[in-house]
């Protein structure tokens, strides 16, 4: 028989579920639904780490900076429930916007410098919406661990910063970016791409790999690394580059030179779809690779 996932729709139901077991470890996997292998890798990591795993699906209006992106966000709840059950997820928190933002809601988490550049610069208010909803989810579920994808590297850094600054007792666990065979990072937004756009979208990862190749060849100047990425992106006529960044992976401060580690991140429009991706350059890994 197909497993059916326990669905919790109210905060009271989550609290009752959480109090019903004497679990030492509970893993939370926050998502916006339309689940794919990337989300399922987070669930698998949570499954391997924690006694109980709860996922949440909430398309958070507060983190969308463009109406049309929110309106077009894909939904397939029945498929999501099947995938979560199959992945061994124990419960699903499925709140409505009114549950998360009831009448009179008026308090926000405002991230600092870590949210100022890259995505933060191009998506005003985005990380305030993310930080607020994630803190709410952590307070509602009170998980011992919460799992986030490296795919959204700045989001991960923003969450780590507020967890540290606001003394949240949850361990934040990063999970590597899951990719299609041709390198495209899995994303719920990929379904919006036409076949020709889907083909063109491989340019993001190819661009990142160009920076990695340059770094491995000894290039440490951030401008030169970014230039290598731009050269690849510029060769794809369907791609409109929004930014390419070479920054400190923890503070997201833009770098002049890469000493040890750097986060190379980018946002690119393919037609009407905005895609992001990133990769970490790590001189110590390079040393190991070369050993």
Binding mask 20-39 toward ligand AMP (x if CB under 6 A, else -) reads -----------xx-----xx
DSSP secondary structure letters along 56-103: EE---GGG-S-HHHHHT----HHHHHHHHHHTT--EEE---HHHHS-T
* CB closer to ligand AMP out of 187 and 265: 187
The DSSP output letter for 116 is T
For ligand AMP, give the closer residue by CB, 30 or 244.
30
Give catalytic status of residue 126 as yes or no. no
Going by C-alpha positions, the residue among 1, 199, 182 that lies closest to residue 82 is 1
Tell me whether residue 193 or residue 222 sits nearer to ligand AMP (CB atom).
193
Q: How far is CA 84 from CA 81, 212, 229, in A?
A: 5, 34, 36
Half-sphere exposure of 91 (CA within 13 A, CB side): 22
Active-site residue (options: 36, 39, 145, 230): 39
Taking the complex as a whole, the smallest distance from the CB of residue 172 to ligand AMP amounts, in Å, to 10
Residue with Cβ nearer ligand AMP (39 or 52) = 39
End-to-end CA distance of the chain: 50
DSSP label of 183: S
Contacting residue, 152, 212, 219, 236, with ligand AMP by CB under 6 A: 152
Select from 9-17, 73-81, 179-187, 249-257 the region that touches ligand AMP (CB under 6 A): 179-187
Q: Could you give the maximum distance between any two Cα atoms of the chain, in Å? A: 60
Q: Is 192 in the site for ligand AMP (CB under 6 A)?
A: no
Residue nearest to ligand AMP (CB): 149
Q: Where along the sequence are the contacts to ligand AMP (CB under 6 A)?
A: 31-32, 38-39, 41-42, 148-149, 151-152, 175, 177-178, 185-188
């Amino acid at each position: 028989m197909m497993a059916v996932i326990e669905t919790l729709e109210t905060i009271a139901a989550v609290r009752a579920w959480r109090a019903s077991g004497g679990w030492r470890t509970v893993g939370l996997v926050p998502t916006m639904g339309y689940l794919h292998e990337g989300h399922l890798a987070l669930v698998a990591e949570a499954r391997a780490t924690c006694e109980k795993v709860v996922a949440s699906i909430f398309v958070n209006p507060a983190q969308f900076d463009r109406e049309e992106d929110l309106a077009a966000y894909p939904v397939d709840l029945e498929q999501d429930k099947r995938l979560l059950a199959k992945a061994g997820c124990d419960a699903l928190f499925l709140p409505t916007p009114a549950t998360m933002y009831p009448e009179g809601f008026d308090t926000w988490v405002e991230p600092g410098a870590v949210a100022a550049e890259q995505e933060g610069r191009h998506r005003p208010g985005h990380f305030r919406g993310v930080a607020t909803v994630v803190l709410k989810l952590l307070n509602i579920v009170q998980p011992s661990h919460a799992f986030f994808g490296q795919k959204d590297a700045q989001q991960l850094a923003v969450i780590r910063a507020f967890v540290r600054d606001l003394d949240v007792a949850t361990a934040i666990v990063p999970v590597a970016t899951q990719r299609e065979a041709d390198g495209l990072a899995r994303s719920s937004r990929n379904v919006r791409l036409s076949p020709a756009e889907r083909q063109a979208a491989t340019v993001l990862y190819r661009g990142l790999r160009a920076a990695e190749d340059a770094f491995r060849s000894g290039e440490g100047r951030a401008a030169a690394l970014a230039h290598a990425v731009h050269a690849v992106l510029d060769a794809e006529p369907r791609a409109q580059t929004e930014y390419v960044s070479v920054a400190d992976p923890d503070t997201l401060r833009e770098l002049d030179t890469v000493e040890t580690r750097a986060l190379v991140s980018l946002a690119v429009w393919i037609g009407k779809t905005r895609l992001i991706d990133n990769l970490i350059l790590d001189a110590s890994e390079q040393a190991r690779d070369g050993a």
